């Protein structure tokens, strides 16, 4: 039974609205037109979906270029402005990239130089930037096994596969890899080993462009760890001789 409140404010049901507003059913053509318009709005969405799911050799439509297309010269391209015809230019002589000023000879060279006499003194300890921890030693072992172990061997005694093969073939110009466990190498300063990695020794090439300074110090730290846990090796008896190791129990 409707309440007094319902009678004063009847609920706006669709049937009540039609009756009170005297609305009539729209003609069939108006209903058909509305259906066509609604379906027509789906067409752009279907086309977009179809285009996104297909490939085309035509370039994409760019409403905002965002520098995707710009006049430039690609790698190794020619350039008509310069005398040598190259688009790729060499850096200006003396240019130093930001953050690459090598003004710390202790860290970047492994030695200091006396300003008056020019005498070189190899550093004997790690630079202040280097902290010897487990992470550094793991990094040093990884770099050592990539660049050094091929000749010096995984344990540093000079039994790397390249060195052993060259000795087996009796290569006339081959200088056997140094046994890093000898007392001579143990007595060398850390900076001297660092400098040897950077600049090379005899037929050992320079690794300055392949191993960055921090990784070179990591290799030095790894080598010192190997030396601390390995016996002292006797020096090779002759040039081209196979690496010799002192008997087990020798003083490290």
Q: Is the pLDDT of residue 68 over 90?
A: no
Q: What is the pLDDT of residue 23?
A: 61
Kindly give, in sequence order, each residue whose CB lies less than 8 Å from that of residue 237, ignoring residues fewer than 6 positions away: 244
The string of DSSP letters for 5-72 reads HHHHS----HHHHHHHHT--PPPHHHHHHHHHHHHHTHHHHHHHHHHHTS--SSPPP-SS-TTSS---
Concatenated DSSP letters for 190-208?
Answer: HHHHHHHHHH-BTTBPP-T
Work out the angle at residue 144's Cα, subtended by the Cα atoms of residues 143 and 145, and round it to the nearest 5 degrees.
Answer: 95
Q: What pLDDT is attached to residue 149?
A: 94
Helix (H) or strand (E) holding 162: helix 161-169
Higher pLDDT, 221 or 73: 221
String of DSSP letters for 120-158: EEE--S--TT---SHHHHHHHHHHHHHHTHHHH-TTSSS
The pLDDT tens digits of the residues spanning 127-161 come to 999 999 999 999 999 999 999 999 999 999 999 99
pLDDT at 246 over 50: no
Q: What pLDDT is recorded for position 251? A: 34
User: What is the length of the chain?
Assistant: 252
- State the average pLDDT for the chain: 83
pLDDT, mean of residues 90-111? 86
Question: What separation in angstroms does the CA of 171 have from each of 152, 156, 167, 217?
Answer: 17, 21, 6, 32
Separation of alpha carbons 126 and 128, rounded Å:
7
pLDDT of 172 > 60? The answer is yes
Segments making up each domain of the chain, as ranges? 104-247
Asked if the model's pLDDT at residue 245 lies above 60, the reply is no
213 closest CA partner among 191, 186, 235: 191
The residue written with tokens 């008509």 in the block is: 80
Q: What is the mean pLDDT of residues 174-182?
A: 90
Kindly indicate whether the domain formed by 104-247 is annotated with CATH number 3.10.20.30.
no
Q: Confidence class of residue 189 from pLDDT cuts 50, 70 and 90? A: very high
CB atoms within 10 A of CB 176: 21
Residues 36-51 have pLDDT tens digits of: 999 999 999 998 888 7
Please state, for a pLDDT cut of 90, what percent of the chain lies above it: 43
Q: Is the pTM of this model over 0.75?
A: no
């Amino acid at each position: 039974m409707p309440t007094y409140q319902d009678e004063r404010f009847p609920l706006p049901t669709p049937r009540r609205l039609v009756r009170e507003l005297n609305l009539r059913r729209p003609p069939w053509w108006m209903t058909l037109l509305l259906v066509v318009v609604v379906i027509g709005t789906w067409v752009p969405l279907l086309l977009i979906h179809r285009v996104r799911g297909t490939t085309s050799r035509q370039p994409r439509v760019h409403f905002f270029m965002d520098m995707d297309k710009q006049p430039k010269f690609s790698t190794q391209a020619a350039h008509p402005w310069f005398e040598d015809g190259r688009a790729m230019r060499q850096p200006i002589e003396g240019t130093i990239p930001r953050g690459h000023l090598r003004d710390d000879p202790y860290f970047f060279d492994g030695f200091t130089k006396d300003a008056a006499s020019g005498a070189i003194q190899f550093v004997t300890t790690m630079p202040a930037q280097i902290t010897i921890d487990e992470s550094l030693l793991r990094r040093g072992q990884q770099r050592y096994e990539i660049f050094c172990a091929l000749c010096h061997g995984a344990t540093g005694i000079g039994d790397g596969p390249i060195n052993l093969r060259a000795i087996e073939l009796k290569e006339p110009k081959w200088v056997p890899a140094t046994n890093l466990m000898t007392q001579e190498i143990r007595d060398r300063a850390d900076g001297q080993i660092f400098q040897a990695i950077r600049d090379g020794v005899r037929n050992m090439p320079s690794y300055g462009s392949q191993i960055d300074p921090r990784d070179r110090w990591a290799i030095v730290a790894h080598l010192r760890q190997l030396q601390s846990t390995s016996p002292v090796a006797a020096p090779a008896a002759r040039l081209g001789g196979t690496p010799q190791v002192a008997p087990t129990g020798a003083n490290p």
